[in-house]
Structure 1
Amino acid sequence: MTRSNVIIIHPDLGIGGAERLIIDVAVALQNRGHRVIVYTSHRDETHCFEEARDGTLDVRVRGNTIFPPRVLGRLHLLMAILRQLHLTISLLGEMAREENSDKFGSDIFIVDQLPACLPILKTVGEWLVRRRPQRILFYCHFPDQLLARRDEVNPITRVLKRVYRWPFDWFEGWAMSAADGVVANSKFTREVVGEVFGRRRLGDIRIVYPCVGREEKSKMHGPELWGGKKVLLSINRFERKKGVELAIRAYHGLGLEARCGTRLVIAGGYDTRVPENVQYHKELDRLAQDLGLQTATAKTVVSAQSVPDSIDVLFLLSVPTAFKETLLRTARLLLYTPVREHFGIVPVEAMQAGLPVLASNTGGPLETIVEGETGWLRDVDDVQAWTEVIQKVLWEMSEEERERIAENGRRRARGRFSLDALGENLEEELARLREAERRPFWGVQHVLLGAGTVMAVVVAVLLRWL
């Protein structure tokens, strides 16, 4: 096996699904003998995964000294692009000063989420760092232009938003075409990426599924929580697109008697720097209370475990990994509410822990969950259908059926979504990149288009602020 010098570029090492994936990518390749360095523009050691702070990985924070993450709460995408470009220039400078090593056959750049740096890596990288062949792999979670909100009520604001977004939307596809290879996290994402950017433009988009960590059989069944209450669990970032209100409405639909001895726990990524996290938590809390449910919010494991018995809905903000695993091992059902989720790692984590999953019948869950075998898929517009599944799992399912679903889930997670499987798939992609010729990305037209994009961004920003 040829060892490579792998440089991973990721915008922000928080505790979301994209961050979990990129950490797993780094660990999987490092375990296979490659040298791995992770570059990021932000890492809060109190708000990131253990591997990013405990020395498991070589993490370097660059590109965070000139451009802030936002300007007056706006221009997040523009600032993210500028921060990534700053990071890229910094890391190329470090690579140029570093002594060459014969241990590695090539330099492999792996970039995810934001492709802004790819043209610089492609056009400047080999010229500046003249030591080994270079290749670029872009891991696409989902097109950013489809994630941007475009539902402004005011028609003038809507037009300005379109003008503001147009150069960024064009730039995303152009920048991505600089990659030597593109992989997606699911068949669903691959189809969407091909439709948005064009299959000829990006070449053969292959699939590399995210993974879950190694299964610890000694911890299959966790300790009882909250006096043995039957726990329903929702794990997501506190973002409106996650549709967590469905979990609250479906739980409320059980009725007072069926909710006795149960609790809905809503846990997930929460960052006080992100206004939407703060606002959405308040909206969910208000919804639950309006429905007559008693709520509580906990920011620590200790406070979470000491909430009163009368609490129906418990919000856990930025739950630690260890406690999240405890929740997965002790809950009765995972409620996974996002629509058209690109992949969704949480359902796979749940299956690995032997926890049945109830999810939206769209997007990634269609590829991970087997109806009736590892969980259920239901329409998010049919709240009653979700309530019926919850009722079945809580009060009607036999222990034999519960164990059958649990074992099916563990087997599926182990076979298709393990760290070893991720490492093997990545190894194949790296070998393919090393053996193939670099995809062309050059010409005066690209320089002119790039300059035009910069000008368009400036104009769009000015219009946005008028």
Structure 2
Amino acid sequence: MEALGKRMVRVVFLHPDLGIGGAERLVVDAAVALRSRGCSVQIWTAHYDPQHCFSETLDPDLPVICVGDWLPNSIFGYFHALCAYLRMIYVALYLIFLSGLEYDVIFCDQVSACIPVLRLSRQRKKVLFYCHFPDQLLAQRHSAVKQLYRAPIDWLEERTTGMADCIVVNSRFTAGVFKRTFKSLAGIHTDILYPSLNPAAFDGELEELDGLVPENKRWLFLSINRYERKKNLPLAVQSLQALRQRLPLEQRRHIHLVMAGGYDERVAENVEHFAELKALVSSLDLEDCVTFLRSPSDRQKVSLLHHSTCVLYTPSNEHFGIVPVEAMYVRCPVIAVNSGGPLESIADRETGFLCEPTAESFAEAMEKFVKDPRLQQEMGEAGKQRVLEKFSSDAFAEQLHRYILRLTE
């Protein structure tokens, strides 16, 4: 430890696909946080597109090394998990045997299959694994063939996760799921490290919403999530429809919904679900009331949060979900499903509303903002204070840095 105190601690992040999802947001924030504590950081990944990334990764002081993108991410639209495992194993092998890079700690997340490969390194450095959620619980198993395919992958996930020197989870909810899912790891201690955000990304100059939203809208509701079916995005559209049925015609004219989310043309589900949502909006005759944005820029997202009445956060049993924290930081209340991570991030009826995952329940909460013009400001201020107290970037950076230093002792 004394030797490390005289030089910079070198941390390598391994992540399968550095796009613009919640897991990627955490990885980037973690790298920025450790860099602020004097660490040298690099992010290694199997896919990175400078045109589809978080702005921090464009900083030359936060190098991103992409290897193995020539490997397929699916085989004829199937075997996504297997391909993700193979791609991450390749990244780990490249790092160990071909890069010549020296490092002190490896931070990996999502795919644990690379951990035993990292053990092959002569450097024998420690590994911190950040568990967003057990991958096997995210997989659909509609057939006996799919169950047979997943069985060895699920076994490998549990065994390789247990090989990490330190395991961290993103919420109390995930900690409980971790122990129930990985029964052989029930005795392993898992620390909770809540995701945070980079304040600099939210405190800068705002963009105007010219052209994004019609000017005559007084109440702007915002949904931010990847275009994936598990995010239950139709709930936002159906809630808008239910709200409109509750209001007189004059107020209906001033309500608008923005559906903004990560979209990758390489991912078939993104393309298909986007089309499904457009069709739903059309079937409900809501084309004039809904705006779709695919992969908005960081500045667009921040501006939307600042100008919105509230955020509609629709996933059920979300492991944590960084969007509610980002919204509260910019004084934007949140309406979310009353399960999973939002139970820990949102204070019900103080910084937003926790609701049943039904259109009527969401619409009832949305109507409160229409009827009470003070509610947005009051909840917004409470939300800002909650983020500063529980999810500050300084607390996140300090806690993560302690884990890193502990692994170097």
Q: Same fold (TM over 0.5)?
A: yes
Structure 1 residue 199: Cα displacement: 6.6
Partner SS state of residue 116, structure 1: helix
- Cα distance per residue 1:152-172 (max 9 Å; x no partner): 3xxxxx111111110000000
- Structure-2 residue corresponding to 1:419: 393
Structure 1 residue 118: Cα displacement: 0.4
Structure 1 residue 357: Cα displacement: 0.3
2:134 counterpart of 1:143: yes
Q: Structure 1: which 5+ residue stretches go unaligned?
A: 101-105, 153-157, 295-310, 436-466
- Structure-1 residue corresponding to 2:151: 166
Structure 1 residue 64: Cα displacement: 2.6
Letter in 2 for 1:164: Y
Letter in 2 for 1:324: K
Q: Aligned partners of 1:337, 1:205: CA distance in 2, in Å?
A: 27
Matches within 5 A, 1:320-399: 320-380=297-357, 382-393=358-369, 395-399=370-374
Percent identity of the aligned residues?
Answer: 40
- Structure-1 residue corresponding to 2:229: 240
Q: Aligned partners of 2:403, 2:372: CA distance in 1, in Å?
A: 43
- Residues 63 and 423 of structure 1: CA distance in aligned 2, closer, same or farther (over 3 Å): same
- Structure-2 residue corresponding to 1:210: 195
RMSD of equivalent CA atoms: 1.9
Equivalent of 2:295 in 305, 308, 318? 318
- Structure-2 residue corresponding to 1:259: 252
- Structure-2 residue corresponding to 1:269: 262
Letter in 1 for 2:352: G
Q: Aligned partners of 2:300, 2:207: CA distance in 1, in Å?
A: 13
- Structure-2 residue corresponding to 1:26: 31
- Cα distance per residue 1:228-261 (max 9 Å; x no partner): 5121100000000000111111110123624211
Contact 1:249 1:383 in 2 (8 A): yes
Partner SS state of residue 113, structure 2: coil
Contact 2:259 2:293 in 1 (8 A): yes
Structure 1 residue 430: Cα displacement: 1.7
- Structure-1 residue corresponding to 2:10: 5
Q: Aligned partners of 1:172, 1:241: CA distance in 2, in Å?
A: 21
Contact 1:177 1:201 in 2 (8 A): no
Contact 1:221 1:330 in 2 (8 A): no
Structure 1 residue 226: Cα displacement: 2.7
Equivalent of 2:118 in 116, 121, 129? 121
Contact 2:207 2:299 in 1 (8 A): no
- Cα distance per residue 1:9-59 (max 9 Å; x no partner): 000110100011000000100111111111000001110111112324111
Contact 2:325 2:391 in 1 (8 A): yes
Structure 1 residue 289: Cα displacement: 1.4
Matches within 5 A, 1:419-458: 419-435=393-409
Structure 1 residue 414: Cα displacement: 1.8
2:125 counterpart of 1:134: yes
- Residues 385 and 137 of structure 1: CA distance in aligned 2, closer, same or farther (over 3 Å): same
Contact 1:222 1:329 in 2 (8 A): no
2:389 counterpart of 1:404: no
- Residues 206 and 265 of structure 1: CA distance in aligned 2, closer, same or farther (over 3 Å): same
Q: Aligned partners of 2:62, 2:93: CA distance in 1, in Å?
A: 21
Equivalent of 1:286 in 235, 258, 279? 279
Structure 1 residue 217: Cα displacement: 5.4
Structure 1 residue 433: Cα displacement: 2.5
- Structure-2 residue corresponding to 1:194: 179
Alignment: residue pair count: 396
Partner SS state of residue 316, structure 1: strand
- Structure-2 residue corresponding to 1:227: 215
Contact 1:220 1:353 in 2 (8 A): no
Q: Aligned partners of 2:91, 2:185: CA distance in 1, in Å?
A: 30
Partner SS state of residue 195, structure 1: helix
Matches within 5 A, 1:77-88: 77-88=81-92
Query: What is the TM-score normalised by the length of structure 2?
Result: 0.92
Partner SS state of residue 77, structure 2: coil
2:108 counterpart of 1:111: yes
Q: Aligned partners of 2:317, 2:26: CA distance in 1, in Å?
A: 18
Partner SS state of residue 222, structure 2: strand
Structure 1 residue 268: Cα displacement: 0.5
Q: Aligned partners of 2:264, 2:168: CA distance in 1, in Å?
A: 29
Query: What is the TM-score normalised by the length of structure 1?
Result: 0.81
Structure 1 residue 202: Cα displacement: 6.2
Q: Aligned partners of 1:407, 1:255: CA distance in 2, in Å?
A: 27
